[in-house]
Amino acid sequence: MEGTELPKDWRGAQVRVLGVTRYPALAELEALKKSTNDAFLGAIVNCVPRRRTEEVLSYLRSQQIPLLALLPEDKVLAHPTVGQLAEALGAQLLFAEGQEEMALETVAISSIASDPEQYYVARLAPKAIIVRSDKPDQQLGALNAGICCLIVTGDMPLLSYVLERAEEGQVPVIVTSLGTADVVHRLEKAIAHLPIVGKEKATRAAQLLAAAAPAESVLALLGS
């Protein structure tokens, strides 16, 4: 909702106004309500951490802002897709045809211990794993464990048998010259700040909205 401006002639069109904002930008709803008066229907608040639910509800009650839906923070929506992460890293993307929009809601860093990578990945069950380019055995172990996306950091080229295994399993591989710490930093910056793209995220958003705001509630509000 940030930066949204209503058309100059909106009052003459007899429109109703619904505010949609992302937590914690709640003050925007108060400003919208004041500027639209009786045309203001209520609000949808998105990306609310569960521990902040009561805080949000209390604020809306204090400002007499009707709540249509409160959508909880969600990993699928907050985390980047394969394509978005590759772009954020300025990385090369391999074997990702048709999978660019897969959400990477859980990303782990490869084990530095002596445990076999295959068991490490199986235990954590991440969607993607970050592995250094000089650790081909860990790369292969992650692929053999069924990882959905492999993120390889550093300057060393991938060995042919790793590439062949990834291509065989059609596992997207993100290859970047950045170090692991830099990749993690960019991943953290991307979380919850990227647009919702792709069928997987759209479906998840629709599920959350349907659960939080049943169709009958929306129709009743629009008819009020």
Contact 60, 43 (CB under 8 A): yes
Specify the amino acid at residue 158: L
Task: Give the tens place of pLDDT for each residue, 16-43.
Answer: 888 999 999 999 999 999 988 888 889 9
The helix (run of H) or strand (run of E) holding residue 85 is helix 82-89
Structure-block tokens of residue 22: 């992302």
Q: Any residues with CB less than 8 A from the CB of 27 and at least 6 apart, and which? A: none
Percent pLDDT > 90 in the chain is: 67
| DSSP 8-state symbol, 166 | H
Which CATH code is given to the segment(s) 77-190?
A: 3.40.1390.20
| pTM confidence score | 0.79
CA 139/CA 142 separation, integer angstroms:
5
Phi then psi for residue 34, to 5 deg, are: -65, -35
Q: Where are the domains of the chain?
A: 1-73, 77-190
pLDDT above 70: residue 149: yes
Task: Give the tens place of pLDDT for each residue, 158-194.
Answer: 999 999 999 999 999 999 999 999 999 999 999 878 8
Task: Give the tens place of pLDDT for each residue, 205-224.
Answer: 889 988 887 767 666 666 65
pLDDT band at 115 (very low <50, low <70, confident <90, very high): low
